[in-house]
Structure formats: C-alpha cells, structure tokens
Amino acid sequence: MPELPEVEAARRRLDPFFTGYRIDDVVLRRPDLRAPFPRRFRARLVGRSVVTFTRRAKYLLATMSSGETLLMHLGMSGSLRVNCRPTGDDRSVNARHDHVVFAMSSGAAIIFNDPRRFGLMDLLTRRQLDAHPALSTLGFEPLSQDFDAAALAGACYRRNAPLKVALLDQKTVAGLGNIYASEALHAACLSPLRKASSIATAAGEPQPAACQLVTAIKQVLEKAVERQTARTYQAARFRVYDREGAKCLRPGCGGTVRRRVQAGRSTYYCPRCQR
DNA sequence: ATTGAGACCTGTCGGC
DNA sequence: TGCCGACAGGTCTCAA
C-alpha cells in the first residue's frame, strides 16, 4: 500500500541493513517489472556499497559507491522486506512474487515483492538522475520546511482541476496518493470537488483554506509514517477512505461519507462538513 | 495546456 | 463450489 508514509517507513526499516553495506549479489527472478531492468543491472551493483538511502516522493534512492543511483518504486502492490537469515527460514507466503533479492554484506537479504508488477527499478548515472523526467517534475516534498501555504497556493493557482485531482498530481505535492489526499481534505474540512484555484487569491496568495490544507497534509502524513514505523503493528484506520455510507467521524457532524470517482480514482468525503 | 480514458498485471471480494 | 465482473494504495501514453 505504498503512498509516501509506506515508502518512508520502508526506507527507515531498511536503512540499517542497506546503508554502509556492500551488495554481494543481486538475484533477478524475471526480466522486467513495469519496465525492463536496465542493462547490466547486476554487474553494475555487485561489489558496490550503498552510500546513502533516501526517499523522494514515492521513490527510494540508493546512491552507490560507483556514483550511480539505484531507483526503486513500489507501484501499487510492491513491498520490501528484510530477511536476516537468508539461509533457510524465510516463511513468506508470497515468495512467488519475490522478483529481486539483494544479498548484502550485512548478512541480510533485502527482498522486493510485487504481485502486480507496477513497481520499477532503474540504475541511473548522475547525469540521468538530474535529468530524470519523473523526478525532475516533482512538486513540493510535503514534510519539508518549504512546503507551506504560499507554496501550495502557488501550485494550485489558476488550476481548474478539482482540488483532489490537483493534490494527486505529483507536480503539486510529491508523494500524496489516493488515500491520504482524501484523508487530508477531510481533516481540513475542504471539499474534494472545489476548484484547486479556490485556495489561492487572484494574485496567487494563500487563502485560509491553503493554510488549513497544508497543516492537514503534514499531520495526516506524519501520523501515518509514525504508525507505520511503530514496532507494534497497528492496522490502518481511515477517517473517510473506504467508508462509503458510514457516519462521518467528525464530532458533531452527523454527515454520511460519500464516494465518487474523480479522474478515475475513488474519492471519499463528507459533503456535510467538507466545503 | 489540460483532462479523461485506457493500459499495464494480479489478487480479492461480492453476487449469482 | 465456481464463474464473472468490479475494483484496488500508481504512473504512463495517447487522443480529444
């Protein structure tokens, strides 16, 4: 279930097994995911060490001692797990969809599993990284300092698309996905149907709605990252997502959650308290 | 320039 | 029980 919080949680979980260690082996169990693996993928990785392991939007980036960057995307159904004892006791049910295994000098095996294969792995030179079409067009990183009301208003200024659709666009906010876009709009009491431009003035300055929305996005994402990172697993509980027909959880609202399709994706919202 | 529809692929769930 | 359609957390491309 990879949106920004899931990807960030995966990064934190893997980092201690990845950063500073050498890749001793790469096993590719099929020729492609969403796209073919790049040429000489294995040869360019084996023997190199991971220097840094970072996240940008929903992408994971491992910079290697060779100077190249391993780029990973989990797509819709991808996940990464660590097996500390590769010699035997991995009891994963899904081994059928284990497509890539990195054997690290830490002794850990890092396994990429992705049933739907919408995920992606690529290996980029410095030059390719800087010019990458998907990465270079990404918008603000929502948990960073420079994502504030003015930034969001600027990104939504003069956009006719519905607010929810604009939020899903990675050029607006990098890493928001379908669940947390709905959740953030509900937290901010803003309708997903209103025009994106309505949170900015005619001059592109932030309206109060832009402040509410920025605060809500940060809160919703931070809470989700925390929950995902917690040692004891806690099942996700959403306030609106996937709750069509149920009572709005905002105290005193009494509305009913509705579902509708925007840009081909399900949006959940409470028409009573989201304006 | 934006926007919507369709494509990519497998798994799961509800209805009959 | 089994078959079938609808749908799922993301992104890309193509046509209007």
Q: What is the pLDDT of residue A86?
A: 60
A58 classed as catalytic:
yes
Is A260 near strand C, with its CB below 7 A from some atom of it? no
Residue A93: band (very low, low, confident or very high) from pLDDT cuts 50, 70, 90: very low
Nucleotide nearest residue A268, measured CA to C1'? C9
User: Phi/psi at A36 (nearest 5 deg)?
Assistant: -60, 150
Measure the CA dihedral A50/A55/A60/A65, to 10°. Answer: -20
Query: Does residue A142 contact residue A173 with C-beta atoms inside 8 Å?
Result: yes
Q: A158-215: per-residue pLDDT in tens? A: 899 999 999 999 999 999 999 999 999 999 999 999 999 999 999 999 999 999 999 9
CA distance A167 to A179: 11
**Active-site residue, selected from the candidate residues A58, A159, A164, A243:** A58
Q: Average pLDDT in the A138-147 region?
A: 95
Query: Does residue A204 contact residue A157 with C-beta atoms inside 8 Å?
Result: yes
Cα within 13 Å of Cα(A123), Cβ side? 18
CA distance A149 to A188: 13
Which amino acid, A220? V
pTM summary value: 0.95
Give distance CA A241 / C1' C7 (Å). 14
Residue (of A55, A110, A56, A103) closest to A82 by Cα position: A110
Q: Average pLDDT in the A221-231 region?
A: 89
Give distance CA A13 / C1' B15 (Å). 41
Q: What is the pLDDT of residue A234?
A: 63
**Active-site residue, selected from the candidate residues A3, A6, A8, A68:** A3
Q: What is the pLDDT of residue A91?
A: 47
Task: Enumerate the nucleotides of strand C whose atoms come under 7 Å of any protein CB.
Answer: 7-12
Is A230 near strand C, with its CB below 7 A from some atom of it? no
A47-54: list long-range contacts, CB under 8 Å, 24+ apart.
A47/A22, A47/A23, A48/A22, A48/A23, A49/A20, A49/A21, A49/A22, A49/A23, A49/A105, A50/A18, A50/A19, A50/A20, A50/A21, A50/A22, A50/A23, A51/A19, A52/A19, A53/A11, A53/A14, A53/A15, A53/A18, A53/A19, A54/A11
Burial A37-51 (b: 16+ CB within 10 A, else e): beeebeebbeebbbe
Residue (of A208, A194, A187, A192) closest to A253 by Cα position: A187
